[in-house]
Structure 1
Amino acid sequence: MTRRIVRILLGLLYFAAGVLHLALPAPFLKITPAWVPLAPLVITLTGLAELAGSVALVQGHSPALRRAAGWGLAAYALCVWPANVNHMLMDLARPDHGLGLAYHIPRMLAQPLLIWAALWAGGVVGRHHIPVKR
């Protein structure tokens, strides 16, 4: 039951984030590190990845698809971490310190939890897997 609740919450989180990436890309473009090529395309692709991952994570027909979504969303959360670090550094360099440490420190600490939660909710970790006989 708990895993299902986390799966639904993560699905909602990633679905909302995907919609925001597609509908309002400007804030995401602002925090994208300069070394990321084709940033507008990357933002669009990340939005699509979030939408696809969220749907795959919450669907109830294929445990294999849920596991794939868990792996994909965990990898996604790892790959966007540099944008979160860049956002923090840009914000803290502002005279008013932007959102400040009270926002950015918990956000940085939450990233590994998001990675783990995607793996756990997708059934990648925390279950005893029975080997498939071939």
Structure 2
Amino acid sequence: MMKKFLVYSLSAFYITAGINHFFSPEFYLEMMPDYLPFHELLNVTSGLAEITLGSLVLYERMRKIICYGIILLLLAIYPANINMLLTALEGKDFGFPIWALYARLPIQFLFIYWAWFIRDFKFSEEPTQI
């Protein structure tokens, strides 16, 4: 039952985060490192990737490859999280305390573990209750 909850909550988390890229693009654009080109395109692409991966993780046949995709996405956006902290340390106010931006960095690895943990889960393996 726990893994089923983790699959559904992971799906909801990424779909919601992906949708947020379109409702609050300025948040994501501000955190992107200057050395990356095409910030608007990267925002849309990462938002669509989160929505797609979050939706497809619900399909057992695709779950393993989708979880690897989520892990790759998390690794790809990690520099933006570092940049957000560094920019905040230089005085930019993102609306979060500095300690939260530090805490966010290792939390990304918990998200990676979350995807890794559920990658092989099959709903059909869930014990039935009488």
TM-score (norm 2): 0.84
CA distance in 2, matches of 1:98, 1:11: 26
- Aligned twin of 2:54: 54
CA contact (8 A) 2:88 2:98 kept: no
CA contact (8 A) 1:92 1:98 kept: no
CA contact (8 A) 1:92 1:100 kept: no
- Correspondences of 1:20-39 after superposition (within 5 Å): 20-39=20-39
Shift of 1:97: 8.7
- Aligned twin of 1:117: 114
- Aligned twin of 2:73: 76
Is 1:3 the counterpart of 2:42? The answer is no
For 1:122, give the aligned amino acid.
Answer: R
CA distance in 1, matches of 2:83, 2:65: 28
Shift of 1:89: 0.9
- Aligned twin of 1:103: 100
Q: How many residues align?
A: 121
TM-score (norm 1): 0.82
Runs of 4+ in 1 over 3 A off after TM superposition: 95-98
Structure 2 gap ranges (5+): 122-130
Shift of 1:64: 2.8
CA 1:4–1:97: 2 relative to 1, 3 Å: closer
